Amino acid sequence: MTFLESFLGALTLNAGYNTAVVSIGAALLGAASGAVGAFVLLRKRSLVSDAMSHATLPGVVIGFLAGVWLLGDGRSLPLLLAGAALTAGIGMISVDWIKANTRLTEDTAIGTVLSTFFALGMVLLTVLQSLATAGQAGLSGFLLGSTSGMLSSEAMTIAIAAGVVALIVLALFKEFALLCFDEDFAGSTGLGVRRLDIALLTLLLAVVVIGLKTVGLVLVIALTIIPPVAARFWTERVSRFVPISAAIGAAGSYAGACLSASAPDLPTGALIVLILFALFVISMLVSPVRGLLSALLRHRRFQKIVHLRQGLLAVAHDEPILEPITRKLLIRRGYVSGDMRPTEAGWSAARRIDRDQALWNLWREEYPDEAHALADWSLKPIDEVLSPDMVADLETRLAPHDAARAAGGAA
Amino acid sequence: MAKKTGGSFLKEAGRGPALDAKSPFAVSGLTVAYDRKPVLWNAGFAAPEGELTAIVGPNGAGKSTFLKASLGLIPKLSGEVAVFGRPIDEARGDIAYVPQRSSVDWDFPATALDVVTMGLYRRIGWLRWPGRRDKERAREMLALVGMEAFADRQIGQLSGGQQQRVFLARALAQDAKVYLMDEPFAGVDAATERAIVDVLKKLLAEGKTVLVVHHDLETVPVYFSHVLFLNGGTVASGPVTETFTAENLQKTYGGRLAATQLAALHEAAGMKT
Amino acid sequence: MSADIFLQFDFPSILLGSLAALCCGLLGNFLVLRRQSLMGDAISHVVLPGIVLGFLITGTVDSLPMMLGAGFAALVSVGLIELVRRLGKVEPGAAMGVVFTSMFAAGVLLLEQTGAAGVHLDVEHALYGNLESAIWLEASGWGDLLRPEILAALPVSVLRLVVVNMAVIAFILAFYKELKLVSFDPLFADTLGISSRFVGTLLIVMVAVAAVAAFDAVGSILVIAMFICPAATARLLTDRLSTQLILSGIVAFSSGIVGYVFAAFGPAWIGYDMSVSAAGMIAVVAGIIQVVAMIFAPRYGVIARRRLQRA
């Protein structure tokens, strides 16, 4: 069987029961972390997960030791994850404590916790090695994630846990959305900002811990950060942002897990992260909403409108045109000749724009607040934006002292 | 500054005189947009040399944006800026800018004296440390704003007004030709207000050109000789005696100023409505 | 324990740990003040793809191409982070998260290629470092510390860190004024014509150089700890930048010594015949010092702040 066949087989769930469970578990994990990560990004706390994931290491080692002591075997996934959750939780509380009680900022608090907790884990690991217990080699899978050789019971645990997290996010969707956009109002509802924040961070902690085995502790944060950052490019609305982020997370994790099933030597975590990164790059470049290409095109178009209008106003007022872009645009449109002398078409366009600008200015004097709120103010011809009645009214008011001159100029 | 007339419907729709080579600070055709929504449109102004100009306009009129974009601190869509006829990047040493408060980390390990000394950094040059002379000069500047007693205080331990005075002293230390200040009077105590006024007088006496974004319309005729009305673009500009009129206030603020307010303003300005 | 055993096996490791701690600790002050603490985190992660790339291109395990590769990767990551931050309009933390995890993942996959080439490079080594492997067999007594020809036989990684430390100190002395200015008020720096971006880039280049030089010896986690903990500790003890720099240097250097001593001899003191990860212990010691400062610092410690609030 070629690599491609086996990959396609895995993608279509035809590569055996175990692989199917692992891939579906990964997809659920990706969806849950994409959704949680989306809210965390909106709260501007993305890198808290970095502190959490690194802080799992001492817990994993403690869980292993507990397993040896209680069960005779350290490789009990529930114990390892419980240990991970314990120290990651302590890490999370430490970040908040440092931020609240010292002059140090959050980034410093995160860096402190992630490095010292991980270092403590390294120290404990060397203790473990010197105890020479069996099975500790399995721990290295927690660094980079590995689905090869994952038991279907383990995969099932991951799938169920991720599913539960996803359901909780769904249940608290409205509350979290409020928390991110209207903190004051969220505070006035039953749950309170503080408790909602704790709930969100606890869910983040949950996906980090659940993701350890599949993606590994160094890379698991990618699962909570890359999907929402990619989703940012596709929409401005939170009701879509969160599901898109979840979908990107699910797609990337599923594809990565399937790829890993066909190439068992490659670390699963790295594969998932790189696929997510590819999805991110595609989103950044081509999304019509906020993607790079469309933004660039829109900016160019906008720049053209502004420069053309300013250039024509300068022509109308007989002022020199200083900027090269403006000059080029006017020449290209045939409004001025090569030596910057206005053409007949240029004069008439300039008069039109000048009149339009005068009306816009008059409208702004009358309705400053509306003008301030209107994005198209003085960018589009006024009669395309305001009602004909309004324009007619402005025209008559502009008329008394200028109509004569306008008529003269147009003749 | 004389307003340009010509074949146009509204005189103030244009850019103002184009890049006056003699003006210490001339802006022309300045357009700035956030997210494709113009905050400033085609704004132009040439600061009269040796004069004190107030920049006024309603909230969101683009007053701070006007200063920041002219200085290149935020990107502009179009527009030219000249300092004595030179491009701004060649004239950094001639310009001092006092930003609105609160844009720095007040917890930063720096004393009031350290902050004022920063105003001398350009003159000191790369790879050199501030010497004793520089420190002395910085102390003199602190004394000018009545802050010499606080020279060694960490800046976060000063009151808001004191911090504002330190930043003013830093601008003085720059010894520039043009001073741009963003709402220096906003929310300051009486001592600081006095210090600011003294500094403005001193700058004028030395022949400097000063532009101040100002909120309090009543004090415009008291402190300033010239005024620039901004509202999304230049509405009007010129000497206070000619330009600070009911008509221009109305044009700039629209319905936002009540008739009684206008009357009070004109009384303050000693002008007839 | 005799002097020559200590000099041959422990002394070079202590030097390595302390010097790595020192250069990272000094630069960390500016990262902490500029709220870029996690830049150290990001850079020390992207060092992995850099060294692997350096190896894959040249095919040798010489440190020079690997360090060049690492430095290159660090600069690429900084550029990418800036790009993602601007284009995605997201907070710098999220932009960092996207870039450094992706580059680290690429490094992990690239490692598989080196496995095929039969060369030993692995992720554990990148994270944990290999502090204990430094030896100085030429040493036979304390007098050797004064003999240049024997000092020259110190491990090359030690000598490299000596050079990097000198470069870092020279950099800070030369650009102290500018670093202070752009860290405090970048906008003002720009109006003065002292480009905050230029100075910021210089700083990041030095951070990358220090990270790469230290990484090889002590692993990326200790590098991250040293960029942050000593500076954070010093930040709680003083309101003067110059004092803060000196304090952070002292904290970093002594964490290196104390951490190593605890790791190598600590277990024996409590009756276990073993030693634990020195790099890990150094970071833990730095963390403990920081905790002590957070609680007991005379002015900004939790206790002092509580007392101040009550008064």
Put simply, the answer to whether B115 touches C184 (Cβ < 8 Å) is yes
CA of B11 vs chain A CAs: smallest distance (Å): 9
Residues A330 and A352 in one domain: yes
Taking CB atoms and an 8 Å limit, are C38 and A46 in contact across chains?
no
Last residue of a domain, one of A270, A290, A310: A290
Q: Is residue B2 domain-resident? A: no
Say which of A103, A318, A365 has its CB closest to residue B251.
Answer: A365
ipTM of the complex: 0.94
d(CA A282, CA A277): 9
Tell me the C-alpha to C-alpha distance, in Å, between residue A384 and each of A279, A348, A355: 40, 19, 14
Domain that holds residue B42: 11-269
Q: Do C187 and B128 touch (CB under 8 A)?
A: no
Backbone φ and ψ of B43, nearest 5° = -80, 140
- Can you give the C-alpha Rg of chain A in angstroms? 30
Count the domains in chain A: 2
Q: Which residues of B touch A (CB under 8 A)?
A: 4, 6-10, 12-15, 18-19, 28-29, 31, 33, 36-38, 41-42, 58, 60, 77-80, 107, 231-233, 250-251, 253-256
Strand partners, B56: B229
**What is the arithmetic mean of pLDDT over A320-344?**
87
B44: pLDDT strictly greater than 70:
yes
Portion of chain B with pLDDT greater than 90, in percent: 56
Please enumerate in sequence order all residues whose Cβ is within 8 A of that of B38, keeping only pairs 6 or more positions apart, or say none: A306, A377, A378, A379, B31, B32, B77, B232
Same domain assignment for residues A183 and A304: no
> Is residue B5 a part of any domain in this protein?
no
Chain B contact set for C193 (CB, 8 A) = 89, 92-93, 122
> How confident is the prediction along chain C (311 residues), in pLDDT tens digits per residue?
577 888 888 999 999 999 999 999 999 999 999 999 999 999 989 988 998 888 888 877 777 888 888 889 988 999 999 999 988 888 899 999 999 999 999 998 888 777 655 555 677 777 777 788 888 888 888 888 888 888 888 888 899 999 999 999 999 999 999 999 999 999 999 999 999 999 999 999 999 999 988 987 788 889 999 999 999 999 999 999 999 999 999 999 999 999 999 999 988 898 888 888 999 999 999 999 999 999 999 999 999 999 988 87
pTM for the full predicted model: 0.90
Chain A residues touching residue C40 (CB < 8 angstroms): 111
Q: Are residues A136 and A235 in the same domain?
A: yes
Q: Which residues pair with B81 in a beta bridge?
A: B27
Does A278 contact chain C (CB < 8 Å)?
no
- Is the residue at B4 inside a domain? no
Q: Which chains are adjacent to chain B, needing at least 3 Cβ pairs under 8 Å?
A: A, C
Tell whether A249 and A346 lie within a shared domain.
Answer: no
Which token pair is C198? Answer: 């230029």
Contact C96 A47 (CB under 8 A): yes
In CATH terms, the superfamily for domain C3-310 is: ABC transporter involved in vitamin B12 uptake, BtuC (1.10.3470.10)
User: Which pLDDT value is given to residue A4?
Assistant: 79
Taking each helix axis from N to C terminus, what angle separates A388-410 and A344-366, rounded to the nearest 10 degrees? Answer: 140
Q: How many domains does chain B have?
A: 1
Contact of C288 with chain B, judged by CB distance below 8 Å, is answered with no
What does the DSSP assignment read for C120-143? ---HHHHHH--GGG---TT--SGG
* Pairing status of strand B95-98 against strand B178-182: parallel
Residue A353 lies in domain: 294-410
Against chain A, the chains showing at least 3 CB pairs within 8 Å are B, C
Question: Hey, which chains touch C, using 3+ CB pairs under 8 Å?
Answer: A, B
CA distance C152 to chain A (A): 31
Instruction: Kindly report the CATH number assigned to the domain that includes residue B35.
Output: 3.40.50.300
Q: Domain segments of chain C: what residues?
A: 3-310
Nearest to B107 among A103, A306, A402 (CB): A103
User: At which of A268, A290, A312 does a domain end?
Assistant: A290
**Residue count (chain A):** 411
Give me A386's structure tokens: 């305001």
Of A50, A119, A267, the CB nearest to C97: A50
A340 at interface of B, judged by CB pairs closer than 8 A:
no
Cβ <8 Å between B6 and A317: yes
Is B1 among the domain residues? Answer: no
Residue-level pLDDT at B256: 64
Q: Following CA atoms C247, C253, C255, C261 in sequence, which dihedral angle do they give, to the nearest 10 degrees?
A: -150
| Single residue among A255, A290, A325 that ends a domain in this structure | A290
Report the gap between the CA of B174 and the closest CA in chain A (Å).
31
A112 vs C97: CB contact, 8 Å cut-off?
no
Q: To the nearest whole percent, how much of chain A has pLDDT over 70?
A: 93
Length of chain C: 311
Q: Is the Cβ pair A377, B42 closer than 8 Å?
A: no
Over residues B175-226, the pLDDT tens digits come to: 999 999 999 988 888 989 999 999 999 999 999 999 999 988 988 999 999 9
- The 10s digit of each residue's pLDDT in A179-193 is 888 777 776 766 688
Out of A103, A108, A267, closest to residue C37 by CB: A108
Nearest CA in chain B to A402: B9
Between B and C, how many CB-CB pairs are < 8 A? 67
Alpha-carbon distance of A176 to A172, in angstroms, equals 6
- Phi-psi sector, B254: left (phi>0), alpha (psi -120 to 50), beta: left
Q: Are residues A241 and A386 in the same domain?
A: no
Query: With an 8 Å Cβ cutoff, is A175 touching chain B?
Result: no
| Distance of residue A395 Cα from the nearest chain C Cα, in angstroms | 42
Is residue C284 less than 8 Å (CB to CB) from chain A? Answer: yes
- Identify the DSSP state of B99: P
Contact A112 C275 (CB under 8 A): no
Residue B6 lies in a domain: no
pLDDT for the residue A408: 38
Q: What is the CA radius of gyration of chain C?
A: 20
Residue C261: predicted pLDDT: 95
